Every structure is written in structure tokens, then in C-alpha cells.
Structure 1
Amino acid sequence: MAPISLKFGGYQGPASVHSRAGHVFGKALSETLGNAVDFTFDSNIVERGHKASDLLSMVESGTLDACYFSSSYLASRVPELGIFDQHFIVPDRNRAYSVLDGALGRELSGLMEKKTGYAVLDFWDNGFRHISNGKGPILSPDDCQGLKIRTLANDNHQRVFRALGFEPITIDVRDLPSACADGTVDAQENPLTNIYNFGLHNHHKHITLTRHLIGVAMVLFNKQAVGSWPADFKEGVQRALRQATLAQRGFADEDDILCTERLVAEGIEIQELSDAQRKVFVDATSREVATTRAGFDARLITLFDEDLASG
């Protein structure tokens, strides 16, 4: 029998925790399925002139079989995904993983399959998000007033940053480095791994460790492709992907430490908020977070809170 093709796509360079996990996935597939799979990994479609967001249409159309991508980009199609976008709610990675691997993660995967052309087979760590800027230290919402900040294309994110005094702007990640360089934006928010690996620190010398959100990267597969696989092949893919997921989450945790060391060595000012300072940010956005929570079915909120507490 001819091998089944599995084309996986990404949008980041070789040092990225996602790219590294993609290679782990390929190796695990080879070990699990052998000659039954023909795996290819296009780790950075941006190098071929695409926008990062093109991955979504490429997977849904079947040009690619799978990719990773931030859940926030799909909340307009599956509003329930916005439950991940509760700023200043998730305190640590272990509790985040309890949500992703628990009942809520399974519920949202089912909704994705029902409402879109994707099957979600796992969730990757898209990093605790922090704020970088080229103007000066940000230690309170007063320091945010009037600054143009690049955010994800997501209403919940933009409402939160407006509440802090920012002017949100949506820019594809492909164009983010140039937007930081030419002053299109004064600030942006991303995990440390992205700030360093995208070279944003070359233009933004100040980083505030707000930990306002832990990003979720869904591992998306073309739903029709998954539906066509034999049961043993699908089981092998899921086992291999779980290996890659565990590795990816470890990479993400390690990378926070490594990137902090590298940023400090390159003269970047990193501000760690005190509990009192962070509370000011939490209080300033509490109404927006409450609005986000109020928009979801009570059962989903219960699942989220129960999974979070079990971590």
C-alpha cells in the first residue's frame, strides 16, 4: 500500500519552539508508522512570500494537511474559543495544560470540527504574552496611554488593550518586525521566544513581564483528510503528535529562561511587575474580562473553572 501523505506547515524559523516540535512530530511519525506515512514539514511559509495566516486557508482547503495556529484567530468563526482569551486569569502553565487537556479542550475540539473544516488533534503552548515597546518602561496603565500596540485580530484582545489606554492595531506576524522598526507601532505583545526570535528587541528595548495571557496554538488538521485515514493510521498520528506536544511544551518553558538570559545580555530592560503593580493592570481590565466571561454558556465557564482548579 502506498504511504499516506501528511504535509505539515508552520510560519517560524528553526529556533522556534513550534518548528522544533514539528521536527519531533516527523520523527515520532516515522517511529510510529514507518513507511505508512510520507511526512513533509514546510516550517516557514513566510519565507515563500505567504502571510502566516495563509496557513489557515491552506489547511482547510487541503493544500496542507496540518499546521499550528493561534486559537485567537479562529474565535470569529467559533466564538467559544474566546474562552481562552481571558486576560490575567491563568496563573501558570500546569493549570493552562489542565484546561487544554481536560473536558473543556475536548468540548472545543468538537465544536471546531462541527463548525469548520478543521480537526483539532492537540494544543500547543503559544507562550505567556508580555508587552514590549520602544518608548520606555511600562509599569502601570498610565504608561500605556496613547501608545499604538500591535495585537492579534481578536475583539477580546483589543478591548482589553483599549481599557489599558493603548490604541490597538492588527498586523500579520509576517509584517510585525518592520512595523516595530519603522514606528508603525510603539508596542506589541508576544511571548519572549517570539520577541527574541523575530528580532523585535532590536527596536523595542523595554519589556514588561505582564503575563497577561497564555497563548494557545491549536494543531489543526484538514477534517476530510483525518476522516479518510484508517483507524490504525489515525491512532499512530495521535500518538506521535502527543509526543511532539509534550516536547513542545517543554521547549516553551525552557525558552522563557533562555530568551530572558539572551535579552538581558543584549541590553534589554526587562521589568518584573510586583504583585501590587500587576493588580493595577488586573483591576483596569476586570470589566473587559467580565464581559468576555459573560459571553459564554455557563457550562463552558464551569468546565474552564473546574479544569483550571484541577491543575
Structure 2
Amino acid sequence: MIELKFGGYQGDKSVHTRGGRVLAEAVAEETNGEVTLTFDENIVSRGHKAADLLSMTESGELDGCYFSSSYLANRVPELGLFDQHFVVPDRRRAYALLDGALGDRLRSEVAAATGYEVLGYWDNGLRHISSARPIRSVEDCQGLKIRTLANEDHQRVFRSLGFDPKAIDVRDLPDAVRTGKVDAQENPLTNILNFNLHESHRHILMTRHLLGVALVLFNAERLNSLTPEHRAGLQRAVDRASQAQRRFAEDDDAICSAELRAQGVEITELDDAGRAAFREATRAEVEITRSQFSPEWRELFDKELSAA
């Protein structure tokens, strides 16, 4: 029997954790029990940083993990196509991009530049801004310290809105919010609720500025050691888990919204005029992100997005 080790960084209710559990079951089923997948659900609970998943997987300490694509954009710049804020309008179109020619090309780029292979794309959530005091306009962002991902494209966008961005690992985020180290942060509703960020940040602006993408990564050498039959079974299992994980993510938005409102959190929808103002304020920085890609990549992205 072959045992694969897969790692995560979130808690019991997380849509990623639930997706990982589906993956573990599906691997056994798709390989007739010849391959099993052991899921270490939350390495943060054992003192690791969440970002350690990347080095642990690339080194072979783990065989696979899920992680935000934004953290690999410095090594695979084309992944930054999904860091264009206020550009992809909804989940349906984002999934079409990931599951089509663009997603296939990105898999090849990751394999060429790293020790990983991408076997799937998970929904890392529509991202919104939560804060200690209400934010309803671009003017309200001025001078506030905001936690962002460790990605320069993200940080430039939030600077253009007037924020002072701070890159903080997920492990340290709850404490940064609780102690007032940051005035705001941006995350999907599921993370805002499950990391208890709403206990300190009682105001959420539904910006939907980005749909996060979580890559399902496996160590390339480990994959190459599998038989073609076992590898095909693993891919089918990841495909099944990806569909389930995306359903969890979509359903969780409604569940978390209702729970947050029930706990007295103020949730403000960003209307069309407000969204246009945020988009205009960030337009120049998004164009800088876009300019980093070759005309071929920009054309492929635009073609796939318009066809979705």
C-alpha cells in the first residue's frame, strides 16, 4: 500500500479542511485502496506557519498541500493573472478560466518553475474587507493599517486605496486583529468567521475584490514515483474533491453571512457606484500587474474571460 501525506492549515469547519477530507476518501476509492492519503488538517496547531506547507511539500516532507496561488506568484508570475483586483466578476467565470486552456497553461508554468505539480484549483473565497470601524468609501480607507497576503501586487492595490498594508502570516492574523496591530484585513467570510476576526472587526464591506485561488500542489518527484494507474486515480480523486470543495465554498458564503449578522456584525454591500469608485482608484495598479504579462498571456486571459 502507498501512503501519501497531505497538509492543510485551517480548522475543522474550513471549506479547505472539508475538501481535504473528501480528497482522502476519494483517493482510497479511486485506487481500490492501493493508495491512501493521510490528511494533516492544521499544521498551524502544531506551531508551524501556514506558509511552511509550501516548503514542506517541495522538500518532500509532505507529498501535497493546498495553498493560495498568490504566494507562488513571485516564482510563477503568470499566477498573478488572478491577482487583478475587481476584474473577474464572479465565481462562474473564474472557474471557467481555471478549468480551461488558461488553467492548463498555468499547470505547465508551475511544473517548469518549481518542484510542484498542480492537480487542482480550489476556491479560496471571494475576498472582502473587515475593519474595526465602518468603511463605506475609498475615503474611509485613508491611513488604516490593513493585513494583506505577502504579495506585492496586492499591497500596491491597497496602497492605492490609502491603506497601509502589512503582510502577516495566517498563524499570526487573529492576534494582529485582536490586539489592534491592524485596523482592517481582507478575507473571505468563512475565514473572518472561523478565525474569529469578527469579534474585533465588527464591520465588513462586501467588496468582492478578488476570488482567491488555492492550488492543490503535489511534490513532482513523488508523483513521478507513482504508477500511471495510481497517478490517474489520484487525479480523479482531486477532481472529485475540487468539485466538492467549490460547492462548500459557495454554500459557506450564505451560511457565514447569516451567522455573522446573527452575532451583530455590520455587513455593508458595495453598490455599483461604490464598486466603480474602488475600481477606478485601483485601476492604475491593476494595469501595472497586467503589464507584467506577455501579450500572449493577456490575450489568453481576456479571451477565456470573455468566453466564460
TM-score interval for Structure 1 and Structure 2 normalised by the shorter chain = over 0.9
Q: TM-score, normalised by structure 2?
A: 0.99
Deviations 1:161-220 (A, max 9, x none): 000000000000000000000010000000000000010001000000000000000000
Q: 1:289 matched to which residue of 2?
A: 286
SS of the counterpart of 1:225? helix
For residues 222-268 of structure 1, what are the alpha-carbon distances to aligned partners after superposition, in whole Å with 9 as ceiling and x for unaligned? 01011111101010000011000000000000000000000000000
Alignment-mate amino acid for residue 43 of structure 1: E
- Identical aligned residues as a percent: 60
Describe the SS at the equivalent of 2:74. Answer: coil
Q: 1:109 aligns with which of 88, 107, 110?
A: 107
Counterpart of 2:23?
25
Measure, in 2, the Cα distance between the counterparts of 1:20 and 1:123: 15
Structure 1 CA distance for aligned equivalents of residues 240 and 36 of structure 2: 18
State the 4+ residue runs in structure 1 displaced beyond 3 angstroms.
none
Residue aligning to 1:247: 244
Aligned CA-pair RMSD: 0.7
- CA offsets per residue over residues 85-135 of structure 1, 9 Å max, x none? 000001110100011111111111101100100000110000000000002
Letter matched to residue 209 of structure 1: M
Matches within 5 A, 1:47-196: 47-135=45-133, 137-196=134-193
C-alpha contact (below 8 Å) 2:145/2:166 kept by paired residues = yes
Q: Give 1:35 deviation, angstroms.
A: 2.5
Give the Cα–Cα distance (whole angstroms) in 2 for the partners of residues 127 and 309 of structure 1: 22
Residue 41 of structure 1: CA displacement? 0.3
Opposite residue 30 of structure 2, the aligned amino acid is T
Q: Does the CA contact (< 8 Å) of 2:24 and 2:36 recur in 1?
A: no
SS of equivalent residue, structure 1 residue 243: helix
Does residue 264 of the first structure (1) align with residue 261 of the second (2)? yes
Aligned residues: 308
Which residue is 1:231 aligned to?
Answer: 228
Report the Cα distance in structure 2 between the residues aligned to 1:62 and 1:33, rounded to whole angstroms: 22
TM-score by length of structure 1 reads 0.98
Structure 1: 5+ residue runs without aligned partners? none
The aligned residue for residue 34 of structure 1 is 32
- Return the offset for 1:308: 1.4
Residue 27 of structure 2 contacts residue 36 of structure 2 at CA under 8 Å; is this kept in 1?
no
Q: Which residue is 1:205 aligned to?
A: 202
SS at 2:33 equivalent? helix
- Tell me what 1:219 maps to: 216
> Corresponding residue for 2:299?
302
Report the residue type matching 1:95 in the other structure.
Answer: R
* Amino acid in the other structure paired with 1:270: I
Deviation at 1:301, TM superposition (A): 1.1
Q: Which amino acid aligns with 2:25?
A: K
Separation in 2, partners of 1:152, 1:39: 29
